[in-house]
Chains A and B, each alone.
Chain A
Amino acid sequence: MLYDYIEKIRPHFNEGGKLHALRSVFEGFETFLFVPSQTSKSGVSIHDAIDSKRIMSFVVIALMPALLFGMYNIGYQNYTAAGVQASWLTMFFYGFMAMLPKIIVSYAVGLGIEFVSAQIKHEEIQEGYLVTGLLIPMIIPVGCPLWMLALAVAFSVIFAKEVFGGTGRNIFNPALVARAFLFFAYPAKMSGDKVWLAKDSIFGLGNNLPDTLTMATPLGEAAAGNTMNYDFYQYALGTIPGSIGETSVIAIALGALLLLITGIASWKTMLSVFVGGAVTAGLFNILGPDTTIAQMPWYDHLVLGGFCFGAVFMATDPVTSARTEPGKFIYGALIGILAIIIRVLNPGYPEGMMLAILFMNTFAPAIDYCFVQSNINKRAKRAKK
C-alpha cells in the first residue's frame, strides 16, 4: 500500500514536477522504506544485501537498550533525589518526556541541514545522520538546554561533516564533535554538578527540585578527590548520574552484542579499547600518584563515564576509525590508553573518552598508511626474489 502511494506521487518530484524542490527529501524517504531497485549501470560491482541505510538501522536498534534505560534513569534520579516513591513505569515515562524534545530537536536541526545541503549540491540525502542524530542527545547531560543542543548539532553537521563532503568523508565523529563543542563552549552546562538531574516536572510527572540541589557524576567526584557513594553493581546497572545514554553497562553490552553478531562493529577495535584502558588503569593503580582517581580500581574505570559507550558506539564508527585490520588493534588500544591518561592526569577533564577518540580520529589515516605501506614493501621484496 505504502509502495503504491510512493509510486503514485513519484512524478511530482521528477524534473519539471511541481514539487521538484523536494526531490532529495522524497528519494531519502523512499530508499529508507524500500531497498532501491536501481543497479549499477557501469563497470563490475558487487552489492551486499545490506546497504548503508540498513547498517544505520541496525545501529539505531543497537542503541535502543541504552536509550530506554537512559530514560528510566532520568526518572529514577529525579524521584530518588526528591525522595518520592514511584513505579518504574512512572519513572520511565517521566524520563521519556524529558528526552523526547532533545531527540526531536536533534533530528529536526540535523536533518534540516542535510536536506538543504543535499538539495544545493543536487545529491541524494545521505543517511548518516540517522545514527548521529540519536547519539548526540544520548551523550549530553539531561540539564543541557535545547538551544545549545540545536547549536551544537548545526555546528557539527556543517563543520564536521558537510565541509568534508558529507557522510563517509568526515575525519571526526560528528556526534563527538557536537559534544566537544558543547563541552568547550558551555562548560557550565556540560560538566560540574548542576546538570545531571532533571529538575522540572512535566505534565504532572516528576518532581520540581530546587536549583540548589546538586549531584555530581562518580567520575567527577573522583576527579575532585571525594569518595564515591556507589558500588560496582550500581555502576554496571547504570543507576548513577551521568550523560543520558552512557550510564548502564548492561544496556550498552546488549547493543554491543547486536553490533558484533551482525558484524557491523569490529570486535578488534572494541576489544583493544578495553584492553588498552584496563592495562593503563592497572598501571596507574600500581605506579600512579596517590589521588582518588588514579587509585580507582581498573575495573571501575572501564564501567564509569562514557568509556563503554565510547568503545562500543563511537570508536567503532567505520568512517572515522582505522580501516586496516591490524591498524584497528593499535587504534583501539591507543584510545583506551589515552582516555585513562586524560582522566587521571587532567582533573579538568574527568571524561577523557571523548577527547581520546577525537584525537585518534586524527591519526586513523596515518595508522592505515603505515600498515598499507609496510604491506606494499613486503610484497615488493617478495617480487624481487
Chain B
Amino acid sequence: MSSLFSKDNQKVFLEPLNLNNPILVQVLGICSALAVTSKLEPSIVMGLSVTVITAFSNVIISLLRKTIPNRIRIIIQLVVVAALVTIVSMVLKAFAYDVSVELSVYVGLIITNCILMGRLEAFAMSNEPWPSFLDGVGSGLGYAWILVVVGAVRELFGSGTLLNIRIIPQFCYDAGYMDNGMMTMPAMAMIILGCVVWAHRALVKE
C-alpha cells in the first residue's frame, strides 16, 4: 500500500493545486469560473461537483484506456463525462435544490469544461487508475479553491455577506457604505481572477 502515496503520486496530486493549476497556469475552465462565482455557496458546490466528476471520469477512462479505439476516443470520453454530469446534476436537484437553480445551466456545461477533457486526454489515457484518480481530485480541487477565493471576494464586497451570513455590519451602511454592484457582474470576476493570477505569478517562482 505504501506505493499508493509514493513521491510520484504525491506530485501528481499536488501539482494541479499550485504549480500547474488548471485556472492560474493552464487558464482552462475560465467561463464557469466567471459565471458562477457571484456568491460563495454556488462556488463551493460547483468546485466540488467538478472535483467529483473529474476524479471519477479519470478513473473510468483510465480503466477503459486499453480498449478504447483511438479514432473515437473523444466520443467515449464525452459519454462517460455526460453520464457523470447527469448523476451529479440529479443529486444536486435532490439534495441542494436552491443552489442547483442558482447554478442553472452551468452544471450541465461541466461536460464542456476544458479541464475535464484536458485531464482525460493528457493523463487518464496513458496512466493507471489510481494516479488518474489522484490527478482528477487534484485538478478539481485546484479549480475549486480558485472559485472559492473569487466567490468569497465577490460575495463579501458585492453583497456584504459570506454564505448568506451578514459580515459587513449595519452601522457601516448607515455611515454611507454601499455594496459594490460591479462585484456581482462577471466583468469584475475577470478582474479579480486577473489579480489572483498576478499574485500567484509574483509569489510562486517556478
Q: Which residues of A contact B (CB under 8 A)?
A: 145, 147-148, 159, 163, 181, 184-189
Contacts and interface: CB of A to CB of B under 8 A. Distances in A.
Interface in B147-206: 176, 178, 180-183, 185, 187, 191, 194
Nearest to B182: A185
Contact of A189 (B178, B191, B194): B178
B182 A184 contact: yes
Contacts of B182: 181, 184-185
A188 B191 contact: no
B176 A187 contact: no
A169 B72 CA distance: 48
A363 to B, nearest CB: 18
B10 to A, nearest CB: 36
A188 B178 CA distance: 9
The 6 closest A-B pairs by CB, nearest first: A185-B182, A185-B180, A184-B182, A185-B181, A186-B178, A145-B176
B180 A186 contact: yes
A187 B179 CA distance: 10
A187 B178 CA distance: 10
Contacts of B176: 145, 147
A163 B191 CA distance: 11
B191 A186 contact: no
Interface residues of B, number: 10
Contact of A184 (B178, B185, B191, B194): B185
A181 B181 CA distance: 9
B173 to A, nearest CB: 12
Counting chain A CB atoms within 10 Å of each CB, which of B181, B187, B194 scores highest? B181
Contacts of B191: 159
Contacts of A163: 194
Contacts of A189: 178
Contacts of B178: 148, 186, 188-189
Contacts of B194: 163
Nearest to A181: B182
A374 B203 CA distance: 46
20 contacts: A145-B176, A147-B176, A148-B178, A159-B191, A163-B194, A181-B182, A184-B181, A184-B182, A184-B185, A184-B187, A185-B180, A185-B181, A185-B182, A185-B183, A186-B178, A186-B180, A186-B181, A187-B181, A188-B178, A189-B178
Contacts of A148: 178
A148 B177 CA distance: 9
Given A185-B181, A185-B183, 13 more contacts: A145-B176, A147-B176, A148-B178, A159-B191, A184-B181, A184-B185, A184-B187, A185-B180, A185-B182, A186-B180, A186-B181, A188-B178, A189-B178
Contacts of A187: 181
A147 B176 CA distance: 9
A148 B187 CA distance: 19
Counting chain B CB atoms within 10 Å of each CB, which of A148, A185, A187 scores highest? A185
Counting chain B CB atoms within 10 Å of each CB, which of A159, A163, A184 scores highest? A184
Contacts of B183: 185
A147 to B, nearest CB: 8
A187 B184 CA distance: 13
A171 to B, nearest CB: 14
